[in-house]
Amino acid sequence: MEDRQSFIANARREQIIKAAIEVLKEIGYVKTSLAKIAQKAKISTGLISYHFSGKEDLMNNTLMYLVEKEWVFINERVAQKQSSTDKLIAFIEAGLAYQVTNKTNNIALIEIVFNARTPDDTPYYLLEDDEDDMKQSLLLDILSQGQESKEFTNFDPRVITTVIQGAISESMFTFQNNISIEQYNEKLTESILKIVK
Amino acid sequence: MEDRQSFIANARREQIIKAAIEVLKEIGYVKTSLAKIAQKAKISTGLISYHFSGKEDLMNNTLMYLVEKEWVFINERVAQKQSSTDKLIAFIEAGLAYQVTNKTNNIALIEIVFNARTPDDTPYYLLEDDEDDMKQSLLLDILSQGQESKEFTNFDPRVITTVIQGAISESMFTFQNNISIEQYNEKLTESILKIVK
DNA sequence: AAATTGATTGAACAATTAATCAAAAAATTA
DNA sequence: TAATTTTTTGATTAATTGTTCAATCAATTT
């Protein structure tokens, strides 16, 4: 929490992170360099190394920043609802809305998750986040509590969690086609309710 | 198709592509270099440039190779079934099975799709493949024909196609947890049938 | 006003990169 | 066998990378 404070507080660090997000979206992780980020932020390359211990550190902080933002967006909307059904509907709608509203953030997140690797070369997207992924935990809780309160029928929450998360992620590639977010949200929600109700 | 012939025929090219797949899986796209691929294939770096016009060309050919392999695997199993319901079940099962059986191929595919970009910096994963994505077309056809033959009820095939593809892709991140493929396949199929039946 | 601190620059560094190319080797043709 | 073409090597090239560092700059404290 000491880390978190300085993370949010430091304006320069946030400026660098925002520049990194822009560059990641514009030219992708492969071509993203500290020089390009510095150029975008209108600062020198050395300053980035002054505020972050290295490129990896910067990318990790950028990832944390993005995950936090998405989590706040979704949780804010879910928390306003009372019943498990309404929470579930809100989760799906918020998940879809975030991707459309914050496309740059979404793309930057993808670029990092599918490129960054641990020192022993394990890709981030293969890391088991189990306890760490708050978004997944939130969805799991909604489904489980809905079953306890008899709002939902019997099913495996882990499987349906994966289906819903997959349907939200995958939507990114479908919106380019002829279907709108509103249509997709409506019909996806309808389909999911068929499963859980 | 002249390209496709020489693509399949040339043993050296396939050797290089297979080495590229291995390296991509081991160290990821970012660290993958022609030198590393040459080392894995036990050839010189120059030879890669002789057979491919550049790194981009090699990655494009590797991607084609991987997409083709997956398509053949799935279509083979779907084609054996007669009814739309059985085809749908076969599609899901084959899609899941391929990811588990050919994990290296799957990871290499992800590495390329989420890194390669067109000359104007459009990421591959954002390209609208519409007519090009045979896997998606196959699934769309199964769903549409099932509706025509009254096997399936009324729903938007485009939406359900996205849901199913998402559920298959996303499964990769769930298998690491405590659930098995067999369980996931069974319960996913059950859920999807609830939607379409 | 002097001194200390943190912030910032930009040049220099070593390491890697993809690509080139002349030369050698191997395979094919005559 | 001789000549020719295709394949392969490995050293070289030019460009870019992340990081380091001595030197300024700005602000605050003493």
Q: How confident is the model at residue A1 (pLDDT cuts 50, 70, 90)?
A: very low
Give the CA A33 to C1' C6 distance in Å: 26
Angle between helices B2-9 and B55-79 in degrees, nearest 10: 90
pLDDT class of A46 with cuts at 50, 70, 90: confident
Q: How confident is the model at residue B151 (pLDDT cuts 50, 70, 90)?
A: very high
pLDDT at residue B45, rounded to an integer: 94
Averaged pLDDT, A39-52: 89
A196 in contact with chain B, both atoms CB, cutoff 8 A:
no
From chain A, the residues in CB contact with B30 under 8 A are 29-30, 115, 117
Over residues B47-62, the mean pLDDT reads 94
Nearest-angstrom CA–CA distance, B163 and B183: 18
Quick one: pLDDT band at residue B9, thresholds 50, 70, 90?
low
**List of B residues 27-86 with CB within 7 A of strand C:** 31-36, 45-46, 49-50, 54-56
Residue B154 has pLDDT above 90, yes or no: yes
Mean pLDDT, rounded, for A69-96: 98
**C1’ D16 / CA A49, Å:** 18
Interchain contact, B184 vs A29, CB within 8 Å: no
| Average of per-residue pLDDT values in chain A | 90
Cβ contact A43 with chain C strand, < 7 A: yes
Measure the N-to-C terminal CA separation of chain B; round to a whole number of Å. Answer: 40
Of A156, A166, A171, nearest to B187 by CB-CB distance is A156
CB contact set of A176 (below 8 Å; sequence gap of 6+): B126, B128
Q: Which residue of B107, B159, B183 is in closest CB contact with A184?
A: B159
Given pLDDT bands bounded at 50, 70 and 90, which one contains residue A184?
Answer: very high
Model confidence, pTM: 0.91
Q: What pLDDT shows up at residue A174?
A: 79
Give the separation between CA B13 and CA B18, rounded to whole angstroms. Answer: 9
Q: Cβ contact (<8 Å) for B179 and A191?
A: no
Q: Does B120 touch chain A (CB under 8 A)?
A: no
Task: Give the residue on A whose Cα is nearest the Cα of B113.
Answer: A114
Task: Identify the architecture of domain A55-196 in CATH.
Answer: Orthogonal Bundle (1.10)
> Which of A176-185, B10-19, B49-58, B69-78 is predicted most confidently?
B69-78
Q: What pLDDT, on a 0 to 100 scale, did the predictor assign at position A76?
A: 98
**Confidence band, pLDDT 50/70/90 cuts, at residue B6:** low
Q: ∠ CA B109-B110-B113 to the nearest 5 degrees?
A: 85
Query: Of the candidates B130, B159, B174, which has its C-beta nearest A162's C-beta?
Result: B174
Q: How many CB atoms lie within 10 A of CB A164?
A: 27
Q: Which pLDDT does position B121 carry in this prediction?
A: 86
A72-76, A177-181, B29-33, B129-133: range with lowest mean pLDDT:
B129-133
> Could you tell me the pLDDT band of residue A178, with boundaries at 50, 70 and 90?
confident
The fraction of chain A above a pLDDT of 70, given in percent, is: 92
Residues of A in contact with B123 (CB under 8 A): 28, 107
Interchain pair B188, A159: CB under 8 A: yes
3-state secondary structure of B117: strand
Round to whole Å and give the CA distance between B101 and B105.
9
Mean pLDDT (chain B) is: 91
Per-domain residue ranges of chain A:
55-196
Residue A12 has a pLDDT of 82
Mean pLDDT, residues B4-17: 74
| Distance in angstroms (rounded) separating the CA atoms of residues A86 and A103 | 25
DSSP for residue B125: G
